[in-house]
């Protein structure tokens, strides 16, 4: 069943007083109790100020709350002012030229942009491991590695990408670790 955005918001509004969250997860309607948002990885204190933004992004884009939170921790340790030498910026370490119109230092803009990217990569590649690798290493690199190495693509990726995927999916166990993931 595919629900349009207005129907999703209506369903959310109807049950919000009951302490549940209605969400669309990869085009399937689901319901969770609000305090069960952290099924796999507990949000550390440094992430608490961003809880509601993460929950909204998870609901809006169908990305597990834990995956968004753990990825933010991996990227910046929840630091909205983080910056690295490659030009990645903000809490989600977005490269501004790839996110025009997004203030990468504003968590209320950066976190939804991150979740939307992860959702798009999941739709494109089919697994969270591939989505995470695309977010970290770039979708073109994932495509190339898959074309060259098939199912063994991650084992032939750079160590940083292998660790990135392995560390996040070890903590957020939503699917098996792919071959080559490093923890």
Residue 161 near residue 137, CB atoms below 8 Å:
yes
E runs forming strands in 34-151? none
Place of tokens 């989505």: 131
What is the 8-class DSSP label of residue 152? Answer: G
Which helix (H) or strand (E) covers residue 171, if one does?
A: helix 159-171
Q: At what angle do helices 107-125 and 139-149 cross, to 10 degrees?
A: 20
The catalytic position among 38, 48, 75, 130 is 75
Residue 88 near residue 100, CB atoms below 8 Å:
no
C-alpha 76/C-alpha 46 separation (Å) is: 11
Place of tokens 């063994």: 152
Q: Which residues lie below 8 Å from residue 153, measured CB to CB, with a gap of 6+?
A: 142, 145, 146, 180
75 in catalytic set: yes
Active-site amino acid positions: 75
């Amino acid at each position: 069943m595919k629900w349009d955005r207005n129907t999703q918001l209506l369903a959310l509004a109807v049950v919000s007083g009951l302490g549940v969250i209605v969400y669309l997860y990869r085009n399937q309607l689901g319901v969770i109790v609000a305090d069960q948002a952290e099924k796999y990885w507990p949000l550390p204190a440094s992430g608490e100020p961003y809880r509601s933004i993460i929950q909204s992004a998870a609901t809006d884009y169908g990305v597990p709350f834990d995956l968004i939170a753990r990825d933010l921790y991996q990227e910046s340790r929840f630091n909205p002012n983080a910056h690295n030498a490659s030009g990645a910026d903000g809490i989600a370490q977005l490269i501004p030229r790839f996110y025009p119109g997004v203030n990468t230092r504003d968590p209320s803009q950066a976190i939804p942009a991150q979740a939307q990217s992860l959702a798009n990569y999941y739709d494109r590649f089919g697994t969270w491991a591939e989505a995470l690798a695309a977010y970290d290493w770039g979708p073109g690199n994932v495509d190339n590695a898959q074309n060259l190495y098939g199912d063994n693509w991650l084992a032939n990726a750079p160590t940083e990408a292998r660790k990135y995927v392995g560390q996040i999916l070890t903590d957020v166990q939503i699917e098996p670790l792919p071959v080559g993931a490093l923890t």
